[in-house]
Amino acid sequence: MKTRILQILFLTAVLTSCIDQPVVIPNTPSDNFEALWKIVDTKYCYLDYKHINWDSIHQVYKVKVDSFVTASKNNKDTLQSERDFFNIMSGMLRELKDGHVNLYSPFNRSRYWNWYQDYPSNFSSSLLYSDKYLGKNYGSVNGLQYAKINGGKVGYIYYGSFESSFTTQNIKYIFDYFSNCQALIIDVRNNGGGSADLAKTLATYFFTEIKTVSYFRHKTGTGHSDFGTPAPEIIIPNAKEPQWKLPVAILTNRLSYSATNDFACMMKQAPKAILVGDNTGGGGGLPMSSELPNGWMVRLSQVQMMDADMNQIEWGIAPTYPCALLQADVDKGDDTIIEKAVSLLVK
């Protein structure tokens, strides 16, 4: 009886050990391809929204991977083979049409640029730093570049990246500097994003009441449409922090992406805010990362962000007042989009 009990305990320990062991996926081109395809299939949050037939894409790229495997057997250049395989995998990810999706290897990072390259830039840095706008003596603190324009009637801030961390003290000083202005412009053209927390913090200074500004929706299962209940993003203004209560215009273009897209989405709910310029670039998904068997990392959108009316913002935010940068104005030294915002703000 004692021997029988010991056998049962031994078998239980062996089975438990087997269960606890993670599944090891072989490091072959085919297995890496299947792993990448499955990660997208189970985790990417926009397959149904974008009407992407991911099974069909699997068939197309499996043929390419199989051809690569056959060709690589005769290729003695290992690094070139890796690059060729990387290009196939990157091509499959580009089918998602998402600037938040990247494949990282020791020698390259894949990216999808068409979300802005197929559109006019609507931005000129040479105009921005001309004497008519920022000039040469503008203030600059933690990524915020500011000056008074239009004869001192309008405060102007250019903020080029939400990776530049400002403080409440910075904002208070700038708002005090603009205290005699009638309105404010915040230019986030060519701001490719950064911290979503900073985007929300900056938006908070333009609200005087509690407001739901957007929603987040997390994937809860492996199905393409397995999502949880949307969670509201709520702005709660603090009266002790600086508050801008006069009109404000947010300038956007296609390179206003990711966290900047979020900022534009929030500011559409601010009581005295307007958006002027071109559609933002989008990037409404919150990206997370996974690892392939060969050690490469894939980053892709796994959480959807929607506006206050539950509309998707993956493709961008439309401005309140569409406006393009005209070459005729550029030739005269005028930024069409800034001038349009000034005309709307200063009656």
Residue range 211-267, pLDDT digits in tens:
999 999 999 999 999 999 999 999 999 888 999 999 999 999 999 999 999 999 999
- Give the pLDDT band (50/70/90) at residue 94: very high
Mean pLDDT of the chain: 93
Above 60 in pLDDT, residue 9?
no
Question: What is the mean pLDDT of the segment spanning 319-327?
Answer: 98
Above 50 in pLDDT, residue 177?
yes
Q: Which two tokens stand for residue 214?
A: 């957007």
Buried b (16+ CB within 10 A) or exposed e, 93-117: bebbbbbbbbbbbeeeebebeebbe
In this prediction, residue 23 carries a pLDDT of 62
In this prediction, residue 5 carries a pLDDT of 44
In this prediction, residue 29 carries a pLDDT of 96
Above 70 in pLDDT, residue 3?
no
3-state DSSP helix/strand/coil % of the chain, to nearest 5: 35, 20, 45
Q: 138: exposed, middle or buried (C-beta count within 10 Å: 0-12, 13-18, 19+)? A: middle
Percent of the chain surpassing pLDDT 70: 93
- Between 196-204 and 259-267, two packed helices, what is the crossing angle to 10 degrees? 20
Question: What is the mean pLDDT of the segment spanning 167-192?
Answer: 97
Of 20-29, 56-65, 92-101, 245-254, the range with the lowest mean pLDDT is 20-29
pTM, two decimals, is: 0.90
- Give the pLDDT band (50/70/90) at residue 321: very high
In this prediction, residue 131 carries a pLDDT of 95
Place of tokens 């049962």: 8
Question: What is the mean pLDDT of the segment spanning 122-145?
Answer: 96
Above 80 in pLDDT, residue 144?
yes
Of 76-85, 119-128, 291-300, the range with the lowest mean pLDDT is 76-85
